[in-house]
Amino acid sequence: MAGEIETIRDLCVRGKRAELNAAVTAAISAGLSAQEIMGKGLIPAMSIVGERYSSGEFFLPQMMIAARAMQEAVAALKPLLTAGAYETRAKAVIGTVAGDFHDIGKNIVKIMLEGQGYEVVDLGVDASAEKFVEAVRNNAPQFVLMSALITLTMESMRKTVQALEAAGLRGSIWIGVGGAPLTKKFADEIGADFYSEDAYQCVEACNAQLH
């Protein structure tokens, strides 16, 4: 089992798409869960890629190739992660904030929520504060979820919270934030309702708010 996860992690880091897909399929056949493959294989692979990029061992192309391999593997796991969703539990608007184009983590959060019966309106990447405001007006969600992966784009979260407040919509929603550089302290500082370290915790936080 450990060997299969290690292989998946390694193939994802090296961006070997076809081999990664085959390894993921084999791991599922061997009885590993989609959650395990994601949590122990694919997500840690992206951390390794980030470390290698920071240390100068990897450049942007390698980071892009690894990200593409990760995205394909996540897409292959999606049916397993969303199977068994029951009636719609609540509605969420999700997006990666202005200036930021990272969407792998956001997409995983979306898949996990859909798997738990949430209806998710996805604003994609580089979503402006105005886009969030418009989506909340049009969809009346219970949750607004924002993702940021770059220290600089975390400020777009603050602007979005302020814009929602200015539009008189703040009282009707719970705002959740996440992404690798975030902390609970930052979430509190900008007036978000919750911060989650990963997609599983995010679903739990949303479920808890509904009870």
Interface with ligand B12 (CB under 6 A), residue total 37
Cα–Cα distance between 59 and 15 in angstroms, integer?
A: 13
Give Dmax (Cα) for the chain.
Answer: 53
Stretch that binds ligand B12, among 29-37, 102-110, 133-141, 161-169 (CB under 6 A): 102-110
Choice from 104, 121, 167, 169 touching ligand B12 (CB under 6 A): 104
- Does the footprint of ligand B12 cover residue 196 (CB under 6 A)? yes
Bridge partners of residue 119, in order along the sequence: 91
Stretch that binds ligand B12, among 75-83, 132-140, 145-153, 157-165 (CB under 6 A): 145-153
Q: Which residue has the tokens 């060997």?
A: 3
Bridge partners of residue 174, in order along the sequence: 143
Which amino acid type is present at position 106? K
- Does the footprint of ligand B12 cover residue 175 (CB under 6 A)? no
Stretch that binds ligand B12, among 5-13, 82-90, 156-164, 170-178 (CB under 6 A): 170-178
Closest to ligand B12 by CB, 99 or 191: 99
- Does the footprint of ligand B12 cover residue 180 (CB under 6 A)? yes
- From its phi and psi, is residue 30 left (phi > 0), alpha (psi between -120 and 50) or beta? alpha
State the nearest-atom distance from the C-beta of 185 to ligand B12, in Å: 15
Stretch that binds ligand B12, among 1-9, 80-88, 115-123, 175-183 (CB under 6 A): 175-183
* 51 C-beta neighbours (distance < 10 Å), count: 12
164: Cβ–Cβ under 8 A, 6 or more apart, which residues?
129, 132, 133, 136, 144, 170, 173, 175
Per the CB < 8 A criterion, the answer to whether 127 and 95 are in contact is: yes
Cα–Cα distance between 187 and 94 in angstroms, integer?
A: 16
Per the CB < 8 A criterion, the answer to whether 142 and 90 are in contact is: yes
Choice from 77, 160, 179, 187 touching ligand B12 (CB under 6 A): 179
Segment 31 to 90, residues that bind ligand B12, using CB under 6 A: 43, 46-47, 49-50, 53-54, 60, 63-64, 67
Q: Which residues bind ligand B12 (CB under 6 A)?
A: 43, 46-47, 49-50, 53-54, 60, 63-64, 67, 99-106, 108-109, 145-147, 149-151, 176-181, 196, 198-199, 202
